[in-house]
Amino acid sequence: MIDELTRLSKSPLGNPTRLAIALYLLPRERTTFSSLRKVLKLTPGNLEFHLKALEEAGIIRTYYGFGKRPRKFVEITEEGVEELEEVLRILREVIGND
């Protein structure tokens, strides 16, 4: 169990805000920056800080799309889905939920 907790603490998703971002993205695959900010009740700067860390780790990717105005999109990557599944597995194991 100690090894699992160590692995969790070193994961980019070991941070509660980053875990919440990944969990929100998982069923949706992508969302807009503004929607994510509103749902998680984060300031733009705080969200940007966490997104940058997740993007550097390969968990998410961000890009701009254009419609009536430019919008920043956030989507979870395949690597992000795999990492999230691993974190959820660790959490289930730690709490003893098979």
Q: Are 30 and 62 in contact (CB under 8 A)?
A: no
Is the confidence at residue 48, as pLDDT, over 60? yes
Winning range, highest mean pLDDT, from 9-13, 61-65, 66-70: 61-65
CATH number of 2-95: 1.10.10.10
In this structure, of 6-10, 43-47, 81-85, the range with the lowest mean pLDDT score is 6-10
Tell me what the pLDDT averaged over the chain comes to. 93
DSSP class of residue 79?
H
Number of C-beta neighbours around residue 53 at 10 A:
16
Domain ranges of the chain: 2-95
User: Residue 53 — very low, low, confident or very high, per pLDDT cuts 50/70/90?
Assistant: very high
pLDDT of 7-40, one tens digit each? 888 899 999 999 999 999 999 989 999 999 999 9
